Amino acid sequence: MAKREKKDLDPYVKELLERKRFLNDASRSEAVNKRHSKGGRTARENVKDLVDEGTFLEYGSLTVAAQRTRRTMEDLMKNTPADGLIAGVGSINGAFFPQERSQCAVLSYDYTVLAGTQGAFNHKKTDRLLQIVNETNIPIIFFVEGGGGRPGDVDMDLVHLGGLDIKTFSGYARLNGQVPRVAIVSGYCFAGNAALAGCSDVIIATENISLGMGGPAMIEGGGLGRFHPKDVGPIQMQRENGVVDIAVKDEIEAVSTAKKYISYFQGSLKDWNCNNQESLRDLIPQDRKYAYNIRKIIHSLCDTDSAMELRSDFGRNMFTGFIRIEGHPFGLIANDSRHLGGAIDSDASDKAARFMQLCDAFGIPIVSLCDAPGFMVGPDHEKSGLVRHTSRMFLVGAHLDVPFMCIVLRKAYGLGAMAMAGGGFHDSIFTVSWPSGEFGAMGIEGAVKLGFSKELAAVKNVKAKQELYEKFVAEAYQKGKAINAASFLEFDEVIDPKDTRKWIMKGYHITKHKRKKRKKFIDAF
């Protein structure tokens, strides 16, 4: 049989392929090498790593910067491909979840194109993809590195004076509580790019970031002095003040972290394993005055390698993060006794309340591990607006639609413990306690000092006074310890720690079909 002659490419297809050649990193070796020399990856390398192979469909790839009146088309195609923004939809974690759950919108500013600035056409492209998200309710992962607005797009001068009527920011913000939104920050991220990061549900940031609402040029222009970009919003600052949710080493780790984070919103995993749950019995110190590592308990309780902590360096007396139990995703809040004894201050309240909003918005049940001696008190803490901040936990808890389950590990005193239970011990699906639990309207030591002040004052001998004090404390502890307190029915049950997972799964199964579907809103902070 004669060989079929190779047919020449259709001229239209040939023209398209030639035009798209400019999109490939291989055709932009100088810009790519410069990026690599600084330890970064290109926007297309990040997107390729994030999205399942062969599933990414790009929108608006043929756009160039709105600078046709000052530059040649050849120049624009070569140096401003896609107008500095890659946008499209694809599958993420498709090997673990059905196709309909794995779909995700992906956007990435390209720092090799005009420093990742926001141009007229990439705003338009962003708005188009946000419209698609609004109609389909798929999550968004947004690489937001870049220098903010772009003053050089002169083609639009007759249409926009200051670009103050664009819809990008309101469109992205409007998706709050509707779809999960992740911002990945690496390198310099200022002004409009930073605003998009701040509007996101979580910010994943690399250790080399400079993240701020104004970059050095804007700061100097405002008469506020000269600063190197590295001095504006470095990673340590943004970790400690709660702006950054998850800090990672580099873009490689950022992408893998984003995949894991988005998986909690994609559903349950079929395959899972966990530690021997009897190990939980030995993780609370027998001496009630000793602090302990709450993360050891969390990692022993949840499925292996399933925990992801958010805001680890902010409000350190409160743990917030996602876990899985029997493959199912849960949000988790927990007091950390190693910081302020686990007492809840303004930062911890904000951290917990906002995380509860995040879980509630997307139907993720919440588990609370309570070891709360109460809310933090004192004149210095009141300066932080403690009254308003701590009240947030009650306000959010009272409006939760998702199942809320409380397990008391040790201390459960006063308003702080009630807040950790969603508002009160009978406001949760269940409130149970490990045998190490202890209960009361306020901490035992404080209650003894106040309640028995006359008796203690009457004893003049220092040693005798201390012995009497310790006697009162021991009696109060016996009265308030879990096994005795359970008889008053303020909480539901005392359980063997090894049965904690069973209780969590029972709470999940009896409530999972009763969730309301009201429109939710998640605070920016």
How many whole angstroms from its chain centre is CA 454?
A: 50
Q: Give the pLDDT confidence score for residue 378 in this predicted structure.
A: 86
87 contacts 153 by C-beta, under 8 angstroms: no
356 contacts 333 by C-beta, under 8 angstroms: yes
| Residue indicated by tokens 């403690």 | 386
> What whole-number percentage of the chain has pLDDT above 70?
96
The CA distance from 497 to 435, in Å, is 8
The CA distance from 217 to 151, in Å, is 13
Q: Give the pLDDT confidence score for residue 149 in this predicted structure.
A: 87
Q: Residue 172: which H helix or E strand, with range? A: helix 168-174
Q: Give the pLDDT confidence score for residue 164 in this predicted structure.
A: 79
The CA distance from 343 to 162, in Å, is 48
All residues at 6 or more sequence positions from 507 whose CB lies less than 8 Å from its CB, including other chains: 365, 403, 405, 429, 430
Work out the average pLDDT over 501-517: 82
Token pair belonging to 510: 């009896």
CB-based burial label for 10 (10 Å; 0-12, 13-18, 19+): exposed
Work out the average pLDDT over 215-241: 89
Q: What is the DSSP string of 97-164?
A: S-HHHHEEEEEEE-TTTGGG-B-HHHHHHHHHHHHHHHHH---EEEE--B-SB-TT-GGGTTT-SSST
pLDDT for 321 beyond 60: yes
**Closest by Cα among 307, 300, 306 to 277:** 300
Token pair belonging to 433: 């306690």
User: 214 or 324: whose pLDDT is higher?
Assistant: 324
All residues at 6 or more sequence positions from 96 whose CB lies less than 8 Å from its CB, including other chains: 102, 263, 266, 269
The CA distance from 416 to 418, in Å, is 5
329-387 per-position pLDDT tens digit: 999 999 999 999 999 999 999 999 999 999 999 999 999 999 999 998 888 889 999 99
Q: What is the 3-state secondary structure (H, E, C) of 2-18?
A: CCCCCCCCCHHHHHHHH
325 contacts 501 by C-beta, under 8 angstroms: yes
Q: What is the DSSP string of 217-262?
A: HHHHHTTS----GGGSSBHHHHHHTTS-SEEESSHHHHHHHHHHHH
Between strands 85-91 and 57-58, the pairing is antiparallel
Q: Is 438 helix (H, G, I), strand (E, B) or coil?
A: strand
The CA distance from 246 to 243, in Å, is 9
Q: Give the pLDDT confidence score for residue 22 in this predicted structure.
A: 87
Of the pLDDT bands very low, low, confident and very high (cuts 50, 70, 90), residue 427 is: very high
Work out the average pLDDT over 222-226: 88
Q: What is the DSSP string of 45-68?
A: HHHHHHSPTT--EESSTT---S-T
Q: Give buried/exposed letters for 349-382 (b at 16+ CB in 10 A, else e).
A: bbbbbbbbbbbbbbbbbbbbbbbbbbbbeeeebe
Token pair belonging to 165: 């009527």
207 contacts 249 by C-beta, under 8 angstroms: yes
135 contacts 171 by C-beta, under 8 angstroms: no
319 contacts 332 by C-beta, under 8 angstroms: yes
Between strands 318-325 and 103-109, the pairing is unpaired
Q: Residue 32: which H helix or E strand, with range? A: helix 29-37
Cα dist from 120 to 83, 149, 258, 267, 450, whole Å: 8, 9, 28, 37, 66
User: 9 or 283: whose pLDDT is higher?
Assistant: 283
167-188 per-position pLDDT tens digit: 999 999 999 999 999 999 999 9
Beta bridge partners of 141: 106, 182
Q: Give the pLDDT confidence score for residue 35 in this predicted structure.
A: 95
Q: Give the pLDDT confidence score for residue 514 in this predicted structure.
A: 59
How many whole angstroms from its chain centre is CA 195?
A: 16
The CA distance from 353 to 521, in Å, is 12
183 contacts 202 by C-beta, under 8 angstroms: yes
Q: Report the 10 Å Cβ neighbour count for 114.
A: 22
The CA distance from 203 to 200, in Å, is 7
Q: Give the pLDDT confidence score for residue 459 in this predicted structure.
A: 79
Between strands 308-310 and 430-433, the pairing is unpaired
Token pair belonging to 14: 């040939």
The CA distance from 27 to 337, in Å, is 55
37-92 per-position pLDDT tens digit: 999 999 999 999 999 999 999 999 999 998 999 999 998 999 999 999 999 999 99
The CA distance from 81 to 22, in Å, is 6
Q: Is 473 helix (H, G, I), strand (E, B) or coil?
A: helix
Question: Angle formed by the axes of helices 43-50 and 251-263, to 10°?
Answer: 30
Work out the average pLDDT over 508-520: 72
pLDDT for 463 beyond 90: no
**Closest by Cα among 504, 318, 329 to 393:** 318
- Terminal alpha carbon distance of the chain: 71
